[in-house]
Amino acid sequence: MAEKQFKGLVQIYTGDGKGKTTASLGQALRAAGQGLRVIVIQFLKGEEGGEHFFAAKTGAFEIKQFSRGNIFVRKDEELREESLAAFKFAEETVKGGKYDMVVLDEIFIAHWRGFISLRQILDLIRDKPARVELVLTGRKAPQEVVKAADLVSEVLMIKHPFNTGIKQRKGIEY
């Protein structure tokens, strides 16, 4: 079992490039491999991807989604309610003591869409227990959150196959 008395930091993966969720899932996999208890809470993602099947098969970490179906065809009010439910669950989870690492996947998109406030995110960072590693992802990370974080990586899009008409590929994009 891994040493669990480390100081938990705040990590951010942001930017317009592909790989923010992938980086956070790699971090989750690494932590779980060292015996840390990990949960990934997904905002504004309503369909299962390969990470869900892996987590279910292996039990390496948990994934909790609050949206359902294709979010691009859903009403904002429904998405707001789901995002607020996800955030409430995230607050309880971060403070609850069961997990060593909590990943809030796409929280910055929920903020950008106006569903989660900047104050809510900053308060969560401020109030998290010292031993919890908190990982936040999504495009458009607010500068105030960037300043509050310990590690910030920006994923730049230089070239993407979507721009040439290549569609999402099973096992790669989902």
What is the domain-level CATH number for residue 131?
A: 3.40.50.300
Residue-wise pLDDT tens digits, 145-166 = 999 999 999 999 888 877 888 8
Those residues of the chain that have pLDDT short of 70 are: 1-5
CA distance 114 to 128: 23
pLDDT of residue 168: 82
Q: Model-level pTM greater than 0.85?
A: yes
Total structural domains within the chain: 1
| DSSP structure class, residue 98 | S
Full domain range(s) for residue 134: 10-164
Does any domain span residue 3? no
156 within a domain of the structure (yes/no): yes
**Residue 67 within a domain:** yes
pLDDT tens digits for range 34-60: 999 999 999 999 888 999 999 999 999
Structural domain includes residue 169:
no
Inside any domain, residue 173: no
Rounded CA separation 106/104 (Å): 6
3-state class (DSSP) for residue 10: strand
> SS3 of 113, please?
coil
Structural domain contains residue 1: no
